[in-house]
Structure 1
Amino acid sequence: MLRNYFIIAWRNLLRHKVFSFINISGLSVAIAACLLILQYILFEFSYDRFHTRANAIYRVKQERYQDGALAERSARSFSAIANAMKSDFPEVHNATTYFPLECIVSASETENITRSYKMPHVLFASASFLKIFNFPIIKGRDALDEPNSLILTASTAKRFFGDTDPIGKKLRVVNFNQGTDIDGFVKGVCSDIPANSHLQFEMLVSTNPKDVSWTYADNYTYVELNDNANVEKLESKLPAFLAKYTSGLTGSNKVKLGLQPLTQIHLYSDLSGEPTVSGTGKLVWFMVLIAVLILLIAYINYINLSTVKAMERAREVGLRKVFGSERITLMKQFFFESLLLNFVGIVIAIIIALFCHELFNQLAGVDIPMGFWTSYWFWLAFLTLLIGGALVSGIYPAYLLSGYQPVQVLKGKLPLTGAGISIRKILVVFQFAVSIALIIGTYAISRQVNYMRETNLGMNIDQTLIIDAPANKLESQGGKNFYQRINTFRTSLLQSPNIKSVTAASSMPGLDILWNRPYQRRDDVSANKGNMYATFSIGPEFVNQFDIKVVAGQQFSITPDQITDSAKATIPIMINESAVRAFGFENAKDAVGKILVDRNGFGVTFEYEIVGVLQNFHQKSLKESFTPIVFRLEDGSSIEYYAAKVSATNIERTIAYIEKSYKELFPASPFQYAFLDEFFDRQYRTDVRFGKIFGLFSGFAIFVACLGLLGLSLFTSMQRTKEIGVRITLGASAISIFVLLVRDFMKLILIACCIAWPLAWWGLYQWLQHYPFRIGISPLLFFIPTFIVLFIALLTVAFHTWKAGKLNPIKALKYE
């Protein structure tokens, strides 16, 4: 019996080539889209789950309150917490801590040749780091409990030593500004870090277990709990635990600790100071919704097209019933055909998805391994969704076809009920409501991303070349000679006619300002006690070079070498408009001349006079609010970057000139540069990629929905064949026939608009609330996508309605 079902199903598939092509195309494109989305979703949910005890690992997070109000939620915590928690709590099986640094790592090939690389992901980790996290050692051993031990990833080891055994080799690890200078020895090599890890590093460096602090929250702490540990009870003990080891953290400034599951960090963390860029759980679930909607649209198409073909198969059903076929047998036959068509669609979809795998990875900005295709969960989720869809889409056509009465269909009469037609129209309305909403979403995302990328930043970053300052301590040997070379480098750059100006700074637009100090007002010490403020060290040329407006007071009028005894003299500073509000000044003019105070770790008090206020500018992307910033003059010790305003002509020659000057003065440091506008734009990379992915799958949805509209137009043309013949006989033109038939479809799409617009408005409103700087929800966001859908729909049905209008009336009137 199954063999008979298969033969008949295969013959019908080949006989109705156009029908089969349309149906299979819609299904295969939809299933391929779902496969790509599904692998992306599973990849996002797989973050950090490869660790053996991932569900028992928690990160210690910190919340800081000021006068009872939440001031900061941070992923960082005190470095002393790890050992203290392991000692005090029996629930804690193990604990580790680390802090990241960008370092210059050097290997000496000979006494005179040193190969150096700037490595942004060097982790200084405690001894138990590799005992908690599963980054397997593939060569050597885990020796983070020994001083000056280095663990390299496989790629880093190959970068420095090629195919030579790296174990026992010496590397110099330097960060000049942080005072780090270590001669370390390679004790082990671990496997490269998987892409689905929120911890990314190129090298691990052992730390001194005595170098712990309860003063600065600048480390990342993780604890591994015992199997029987109660997380809620452990968290309830943390306030007393913190009070035991700290003082001065009560009153107006209060710190609260909490535990964050490792497996939720990537998608559900909204903390500051994340070591890597986090994903967004809501967006991932939204991709799940898109996948389901695309598959629903495809199966709706199948239902519509199958019922259209019911006209041609009505006599077949009548004959089968005359010869004794039961309804359940016919339903099995038609359901088997549905499964066969779905199977063919699956095979083609898998081929499409495999072919597009790398292209999708590039679009999504992730490196999803092909191993997901062999994952048990991947295929279980996919087959469950697919079989469920095949059941739903196959039952209705099978039920409809098997229910025809032999007497009626053998006379050529097809029982077209109003309910059946209404169902088909409702399904088409659903398809286009979804498609219109998706296109509105795509257009809005594009508008928001373009708005953030094109809005005035409050400064001019065009034609600005950023050069990493020398960070190798080898360069500083000779003391003042090093600072003289810094000034010499700046002077040499200005000698080029293609370089208009040069300045130096501790950070650059597009980067977090990591230097924070607890400034207080001298005239009102309690106003902002305990608050930390971003400190930006800049050269005297910075304000003019970046064209930042001074709204009150004046910019720096002295050079760094004119500040002699900074411990006694009042140091000039500038602040931005956000800092004016944060310090509680009435306005910018009121802030000018006021004194701020700060104490260092030795108890020495520094006084700073506010000489000017700068207009707010976007230090980071428009996804973040303006940050209060205190600007100080750089003195050479805090330089991290140079910024050179260059001419648009002879760019290659200018870069070569800068590199030559750099190498002559700083031979031990690698030369690295970037154009600031491109560097700044990287912050929107995730938004741009999400917009592209959203637009791509919205396009898939429109394509599949138009196939459904094509099916309905075929059905309508066949249903109204006699009417069209009569109208043509009475003198109706082809255009009038076209308008007659298209009008019904336009009504359906307009109804879909009425459904899609409110839903899209609500979704956009909720989404835009995450952006402090955002576009308005204007009518154009709805009209333009709707016009696009109407135009595509017109093209879809135009051919068939035109063909119906050109029908020979003699053939039409002989329809029965």
Structure 2
Amino acid sequence: MFKNYLKLAWRTLLKNKYFTIINITGIGIGIASCLFIVQYVFFESDFDKFHKDSDLIYRVTQSRFENNMLVENSSMNFSAIGPTIKRYFPEIKAATSLGKQDCIVSVDGTYGDIKSYKENEVYFVDQNFLDVFNFPLLRGGKKALKLPNSIFLTKSLAKKLFGKEDPMGKTIRIVNFNQGTNLELVVRAIMEDVPANSHLQFTCLVTTTETLGSWHFIDEYAYVKFVPGTNVNNSNSKLSGYTNKYLGDYSDGITNIQLAFQPLESIHLYSDLTKEISVNGNGKFVWFMLLIASLILIIAYVNYINLSTIKSMDRAKEVGLRRTFGSQKIALIMQFFLESLILSFIGIIIAIILVLLFRGGFEGLTGIKVTAFFWTDYKIWLPLLTILVLGSFLSSLYPAYLLSSYNPVQILKGKLPIGGSGIFMRKCLVLFQFVISISLIIGTFTIYNQLEYMRKKDIGINLERNIIVPAPSNNFESQMGGRNFYQKMQSFRASLEEYPEIESVTSASSIPGIDLNWTRPYKRKNAVNKNNLYATFSIGPEFIDQFKIGIVAGKKFSRDMISINQMPTGNTPILINEAAVNAFGFESAEKAVGEFLTDSNGSGVEFEYEIIGVIKNFNQKSLKETLTPIVFRLEDGSSIEYYAVKVSSQNIPASISRIEKSFKENFPASPFEYFFLDEFFNKQYKVDQQFGQIFTVFAGLAIFITCLGLFGLTLFTSFQKAKEIAIRKVFGASVFSLLMLLIKDFLKLILFASAIAWALSWWGLEQWLQGYSTRIGINFVFFILATFIVISIAFVIIGAQSWKINKNNPLKAIKQE
């Protein structure tokens, strides 16, 4: 019996090739889309879960309150936490602190030359790092972390530095002059490259000498690993006692520091803190993509239900004969189920082909590597096959039930009842598709508009046409140091200014788009110290003009100041931004000018600074983050980390060549690198832009599948109204009037669907936009435009069908029983 059903199902599909192709195309694209989205979802959801007992690993976060108001919620913490927290919490199995620096990494070449590279992900760790995390070692052992001046290289960096040579035991120099780093290290281990789904991304691990850390500077990241069975909520409640023990003298009645344990597995998707060690994902985006995957698959099967209903009219007599000879409803359901299952199976094959064809584009879009045989992963295929079988059953149930419920005698006489619940059900399904299509179009427009708004919004600083060149280190450049090195830096700047296509050159300790981790405990002169650490930004005298930052009050730095590095009053000049005016409690920017700030070093020596001007706020980081209070110092050559070269828009490649030539002439031992500042700054929006692109692609596929269904339903409508259309045509009806006859029911559904889609879209977009501190308003023009687009698509599809009907001989339709 089953074999007979299978043969009949296959013959039926071959007989109705036109509808079979439409169904298979929709289901194939739907399954392929789901496979891609599921791959994306699993990748994002599995971040950091490759570590052994990853559910027991937590990051220690820090929140700072002033007058009981939250002013900072940071992922970065005190370096003393790692060495001390285990003593206070016996339930902690291991604890570690780590810092991150950009360094020049160099080794001696084979022919006496020096090979050097700028590495942005150098982690300074303690000996417990690999007790908390499980990054596999290829050579060496984790005990080597206990040896001072050791470096663990990833496989890629080892190959980059040493090629085919054995790196074990070799010496490597790393330098970051601004951070005071100048080390010779011994390679003691080679590691596997860090997995892409790790929020910790490094090229090497460095250990120096063990220290007790600091309770004054927030400059490292702290992680702990709990003993299995620990109630972390109880441990969280004990953190206030730990904080009071070690930070009791930090609190002044105004400032309050609170620590918390954050699960490692939640960092990538659900962390919304400042000073993250890497760019995080977004949990809302993952859920949105899962929703789209579900909708795409549902739309594909809704199409199948509607098109199967259409073709069931051609099979009415077959079903009538089966019912007359005693066939049961269950047998009919089995017959339709097998047909649906065959379609789904063919759809899977097509989906696999599509995945293989387009996986390169998907990888470029998401940055996620799709393995050649990822579909063998049961976590992907088991739920998907369950959905397919369930979808095949449900999509076959309705057509089988519809036909089996008709009177066999009426069916054999050719009197097939069409109406009632059957038409209502089809209208509901079409309404559902239109709601989804309109909602997705509204979402696509809004997401694109929000991303463009963030990208183009005035952030208070002009980043265009600024080429950033990481500065060399005086310790690295042949140990020249001091005045000679500073003269070389001046020579480099002067040589660039000779080129007419280079508009200006400046230098700084940081650049927009990077966390300002250089902080100092400034306070107003003769005021109570609130124990706050303020970001410090060292800039050249050209910085303000080059980046077109507005002056609110006072004056800016000048080149005259850099030669004496002090004001005539004997005080070091500084600038502050508007956010710092509020943070220090000045009544206004004008009243802040001429006031003094003080700062003291670790030995208690106090330094005094005079505020000579207040500049406008600009976004140092993305628009998602609040404005940072910043103190600007005049660079003296010792704190230069970056050169910013503003070039004209004409012949930029030639400008880059000139910059490289001048750099190598002045700093022959240092690696030359460059990047465009606006592109670098916009990388902060990578996750948002990626989501926008993925959403647009798969929303477009969902709309395409809906169009396939609309095309099939147009055929159904023309089948229903065949005689009416033929008679109207005989009496001289125009193509337009026939078009309106076919589309009027669809127009009603589209308008009704618009009302539902508008309400759903408004609610959904409000939820999504809440994640942005700087956001657009909901634009109802997009709502109207989405409805217009769907109506236009319906007109095109139904118009093509009307034109086809107009070509047919009306007599054939009139003669049909």
Match of 2:127 in 1: 127
Q: Quick one: which of 393, 396, 400 aligns to 1:394?
A: 396
Q: Which amino acid aligns with 1:35?
A: L
Q: Does 1:233 align with 2:234?
A: yes
Q: Does 1:222 align with 2:220?
A: no
- Contact kept in structure 1, 2:75 and 2:221, CA below 8 Å: yes
1:705-751 deviations in Å (ceiling 9; x for gaps) = 11221222111111111222222233322221111111211111111
Q: In structure 1, what is the Cα distance between the partners aligned to 2:457 and 2:240?
A: 44
Q: Please state whether the residue corresponding to 1:312 is helix, strand or coil.
A: coil
Q: Please state whether the residue corresponding to 2:153 is helix, strand or coil.
A: strand
Q: In structure 2, what is the Cα distance between the partners aligned to 1:445 and 1:165?
A: 50
Match of 1:2 in 2: 2
Q: CA deviation at 1:188?
A: 0.8
- Contact kept in structure 2, 1:43 and 1:368, CA below 8 Å: no
Q: Quick one: which of 410, 414, 431 aligns to 1:408?
A: 410
Q: Please state whether the residue corresponding to 2:218 is helix, strand or coil.
A: coil
Match of 2:358 in 1: 356
Q: Please state whether the residue corresponding to 2:315 is helix, strand or coil.
A: helix
Q: Please state whether the residue corresponding to 1:257 is helix, strand or coil.
A: strand
Q: Does 1:499 align with 2:502?
A: yes
Q: In structure 2, what is the Cα distance between the partners aligned to 1:234 and 1:611?
A: 48
Q: In structure 1, what is the Cα distance between the partners aligned to 2:619 and 2:247?
A: 36
For structure 2, list consecutive stretches of 5 or more residues without a partner in the other structure: none
Cα distance change on mapping 1:372 and 1:98 into 2, 3 Å: farther
Q: CA deviation at 1:321?
A: 2.2
Q: In structure 2, what is the Cα distance between the partners aligned to 1:413 and 1:160?
A: 82
Q: Please state whether the residue corresponding to 1:275 is helix, strand or coil.
A: coil
Q: In structure 2, what is the Cα distance between the partners aligned to 1:245 and 1:450?
A: 46
- Contact kept in structure 2, 1:98 and 1:124, CA below 8 Å: yes
Match of 1:462 in 2: 464
- Contact kept in structure 2, 1:566 and 1:606, CA below 8 Å: no
Q: How does 1:277-356 map to 2 (within 5 A)?
A: 277-356=279-358
Cα distance change on mapping 1:42 and 1:138 into 2, 3 Å: same
Q: How does 1:450-489 map to 2 (within 5 A)?
A: 450-471=452-473, 473-475=475-477, 476-489=479-492
- Contact kept in structure 2, 1:523 and 1:595, CA below 8 Å: no
Match of 1:525 in 2: 528
Q: CA deviation at 1:112?
A: 4.1
Q: In structure 2, what is the Cα distance between the partners aligned to 1:82 and 1:783?
A: 56
Q: In structure 2, what is the Cα distance between the partners aligned to 1:414 and 1:133?
A: 69
Q: How does 1:125-164 map to 2 (within 5 A)?
A: 125-142=125-142, 143-164=144-165
- Contact kept in structure 2, 1:742 and 1:801, CA below 8 Å: no
Q: Which amino acid aligns with 1:97?
A: S
1:27-70 deviations in Å (ceiling 9; x for gaps) = 11111111100010011111111112111111111111112112
Match of 1:418 in 2: 420
- Contact kept in structure 1, 2:524 and 2:598, CA below 8 Å: yes
Q: In structure 1, what is the Cα distance between the partners aligned to 2:794 and 2:606?
A: 73
Cα distance change on mapping 1:457 and 1:260 into 2, 3 Å: closer
1:178-230 deviations in Å (ceiling 9; x for gaps) = 11111111111011111011111100111322252222221111111111222
Q: In structure 2, what is the Cα distance between the partners aligned to 1:104 and 1:511?
A: 18
Match of 2:741 in 1: 740
Q: How does 1:714-793 map to 2 (within 5 A)?
A: 714-793=715-794
Match of 2:676 in 1: 675
Cα distance change on mapping 1:619 and 1:243 into 2, 3 Å: closer
Cα distance change on mapping 1:806 and 1:734 into 2, 3 Å: farther
Q: How does 1:613-652 map to 2 (within 5 A)?
A: 613-652=614-653
Q: CA deviation at 1:665?
A: 1.8
Match of 2:17 in 1: 17
Match of 1:383 in 2: 385
Q: How does 1:697-708 map to 2 (within 5 A)?
A: 697-708=698-709
Q: Please state whether the residue corresponding to 2:476 is helix, strand or coil.
A: helix
- Contact kept in structure 1, 2:566 and 2:573, CA below 8 Å: no
Q: CA deviation at 1:110?
A: 5.4
- Contact kept in structure 2, 1:548 and 1:615, CA below 8 Å: yes
Q: Mean Cα displacement is larger for which, 679-688 or 71-80?
A: 679-688
Q: In structure 2, what is the Cα distance between the partners aligned to 1:631 and 1:748?
A: 61
Match of 1:102 in 2: 102
Q: In structure 2, what is the Cα distance between the partners aligned to 1:170 and 1:560?
A: 42
Q: Please state whether the residue corresponding to 1:219 is helix, strand or coil.
A: strand
Q: Which amino acid aligns with 1:579?
A: A
Q: Which amino acid aligns with 1:227?
A: P
- Contact kept in structure 2, 1:567 and 1:604, CA below 8 Å: no
Q: CA deviation at 1:289?
A: 0.8
Q: In structure 2, what is the Cα distance between the partners aligned to 1:227 and 1:51?
A: 14
- Contact kept in structure 1, 2:410 and 2:416, CA below 8 Å: yes
Cα distance change on mapping 1:712 and 1:561 into 2, 3 Å: closer
Q: In structure 2, what is the Cα distance between the partners aligned to 1:239 and 1:624?
A: 27
Q: CA deviation at 1:771?
A: 2.1
Q: CA deviation at 1:260?
A: 1.1
Q: Please state whether the residue corresponding to 1:746 is helix, strand or coil.
A: helix
Q: In structure 2, what is the Cα distance between the partners aligned to 1:641 and 1:513?
A: 14
Match of 1:267 in 2: 269
Q: In structure 2, what is the Cα distance between the partners aligned to 1:340 and 1:470?
A: 65
TM-score normalised over the length of structure 1: 0.96
Q: CA deviation at 1:523?
A: 5.9
Q: CA deviation at 1:130?
A: 1.6
Q: How does 1:532-571 map to 2 (within 5 A)?
A: 532-557=533-558, 559-563=560-564, 569-571=570-572
Q: CA deviation at 1:617?
A: 2.5
Q: In structure 2, what is the Cα distance between the partners aligned to 1:317 and 1:808?
A: 30
Match of 1:511 in 2: 514
For structure 1, list consecutive stretches of 5 or more residues without a partner in the other structure: none
Q: Which amino acid aligns with 2:471?
A: A
Q: Please state whether the residue corresponding to 1:474 is helix, strand or coil.
A: coil
Cα distance change on mapping 1:777 and 1:564 into 2, 3 Å: closer
Q: Does 1:76 align with 2:76?
A: yes
Match of 2:278 in 1: 276
Q: In structure 1, what is the Cα distance between the partners aligned to 2:566 and 2:626?
A: 36
Q: In structure 1, what is the Cα distance between the partners aligned to 2:439 and 2:175?
A: 53
Q: How does 1:47-86 map to 2 (within 5 A)?
A: 47-86=47-86
Q: In structure 1, what is the Cα distance between the partners aligned to 2:581 and 2:247?
A: 31
Q: Which amino acid aligns with 1:718?
A: F
TM-score normalised over the length of structure 2: 0.96
- Contact kept in structure 1, 2:274 and 2:625, CA below 8 Å: no
Q: CA deviation at 1:276?
A: 0.8
Q: In structure 1, what is the Cα distance between the partners aligned to 2:474 and 2:404?
A: 81
Match of 2:438 in 1: 436
Q: In structure 2, what is the Cα distance between the partners aligned to 1:669 and 1:560?
A: 29
Q: In structure 1, what is the Cα distance between the partners aligned to 2:37 and 2:778?
A: 28
Q: CA deviation at 1:586?
A: 3.0
Q: Mean Cα displacement is larger for which, 120-129 or 496-505?
A: 496-505
Q: Please state whether the residue corresponding to 1:345 is helix, strand or coil.
A: helix
Match of 1:40 in 2: 40
- Contact kept in structure 2, 1:458 and 1:548, CA below 8 Å: yes
Q: In structure 1, what is the Cα distance between the partners aligned to 2:58 and 2:549?
A: 43
Q: In structure 2, what is the Cα distance between the partners aligned to 1:420 and 1:564?
A: 86
Q: Does 1:661 align with 2:680?
A: no
Q: In structure 1, what is the Cα distance between the partners aligned to 2:811 and 2:706?
A: 34
Q: In structure 2, what is the Cα distance between the partners aligned to 1:559 and 1:567?
A: 11
Q: In structure 2, what is the Cα distance between the partners aligned to 1:678 and 1:278?
A: 18
Cα distance change on mapping 1:606 and 1:567 into 2, 3 Å: farther
- Contact kept in structure 2, 1:563 and 1:571, CA below 8 Å: no
Cα distance change on mapping 1:456 and 1:244 into 2, 3 Å: closer
Cα distance change on mapping 1:602 and 1:388 into 2, 3 Å: farther
